[in-house]
Amino acid sequence: EMQLVESGGGLVQPGGSLRLSCAASGFTFSSYSMSWVRQAPGKGLEWVSVIGGSGGSIYYADSVKGRFTISRDNSKNTLYLQMNSLRAEDTAIYYCAKHRKVATIDDFDHWGQGTLVTVSS
């Protein structure tokens, strides 16, 4: 069974940093692109960043470019999101999501349960 489990969320002050992790199991992790998608409280879904299966092909939403860094360790089947210079508007549930087709950036067929990041003083 495919599983994605996020961790690392919490309360952080504006300007602070946080590193999210997403542990994957039940599929060949290195074959699939992975994304982070966030959802502010009571709001809709916002794509944040994507990384290709080999760690290349990295893209970011303009709202996080230059502040967030996506990476992956295929030997550990883990996806990461390093978040720096955090702002109040980054407050959200952060989901890791697996793309559906091998080596393709398309839709998301599996999602983690999410981890809450709260940026507040």
Query: Rule CB under 8 A: which of 63-92 touch another protein?
Result: none
Distance in Å, CB of 27 to another protein, minimum = 13
Which residues touch 33 (CB under 8 Å, ≥6 apart)? 50, 51, 52, 53, 57, 99, 103, 104, 105
| Span near another protein by CB under 8 A; candidates 8-16, 18-26, 77-85, 100-108 | 100-108
HEC string of 80-102 equals EEEECCCCHHHCEEEEEEEECCC
Q: Please report whether residue 95 would count as binding another protein according to CB under 8 A.
A: yes
Cβ proximity to another protein, 11 vs 45, nearer residue:
45
**Signed CA dihedral, 32, 71, 19, 16: sign only:** negative
Note whether 8 binds another protein by CB under 8 A: no
Cβ 75 to another protein, closest distance in Å?
A: 26
- In degrees, rounded to 5, the angle at the alpha carbon of residue 114 between the alpha carbons of residues 113 and 118 is 150
Q: Count residues contacting another protein (CB under 8 A)?
A: 21
As measured in angstroms, the least distance from the Cβ of 71 to another protein is 17
